[in-house]
Amino acid sequence: MIKRSVLGLDRLATFVVGLVLVALGVAMVAWWGGWLVLVWPQAPDALTLRTATDAFAASWWGWGSLVAGVVVGLLGLWWLLAHRTHRSTGPVRLEGSDDSGGLLLDGSAAVSTAADVLSGARGVRAARGKLVRDRGELVAEVSAVVEPTADLEHVVEVAEAALADLAVVLGRPDVAGRVRLDVARDTRQASRVR
């Protein structure tokens, strides 16, 4: 989950970088066309690297570039960490928890048990489940692979019953349920006994 503050910072940084690039592009076209002197009378007729070489030879250049490199590296590392998709959840607090003590439950284990119930349904090859955090909301994700010949109405009924039982076990109305059914590409051949 990416936080809103990170998304806001991304949008602001994108806007600022875009604005700087547009301004730089307009300034380059204006300089090429000779119109830059209308806005900036001291605009140079030609660019030289003398100022850059003077800066490279300065005594502070080595330390300044080291500090700038470390700052840019740390900002890049922070940016990467802020954008990681960390969807898993730890133990979930149950109703009845207060300051004197907390009732915790491994939510992914409970969702996995609901998936096991679904995998026992007629026409379901396999099912798995986990509790994740998606856009700030707790979601019980169950995914199952069903046979091409499966009765989908029956599978949906079993999935709804498993999620209803899960809601009772978790006792948290803020947990949403999501079931994904994938139809297998081929039917399994039953092994023959001779």
Write the pLDDT tens digit of every residue in 98-145: 667 677 777 888 899 999 999 999 999 999 998 888 877 888 999 999
pTM for the model stands at: 0.52
DSSP string over 53-80: HHHHHSTTHHHHHHHHHHHHHHHHHHHH
Helix axes 152-170, 107-119, angle to 10 degrees: 150
102, 116, 177, 188: which is closest to 150 by C-alpha? 188
| C-alpha–C-alpha distance, residues 173 and 158, integer Å | 20
Binned at pLDDT 50, 70 and 90, residue 86 comes out as low
pLDDT digits (tens, 9 = 90+) for 28-72: 888 888 888 888 888 877 777 777 788 788 888 889 989 998 998
Domain spans in the chain, listed from the N-terminal domain onward: 4-82, 92-183
What single DSSP character describes residue 185?
S
Q: Name which residue leads in pLDDT, 89 or 160.
A: 160
β-bridge partners, 126: 145
| C-alpha–C-alpha distance, residues 140 and 162, integer Å | 11
For domain 92-183, give the CATH number: 3.30.70.1350
Q: Would you state the structure tokens that stand for residue 132, as one six-digit string?
A: 């994740």
pLDDT of residue 83: 72
| C-alpha–C-alpha distance, residues 13 and 19, integer Å | 10
pLDDT of residue 56: 82
Q: How many residues does the chain have?
A: 194
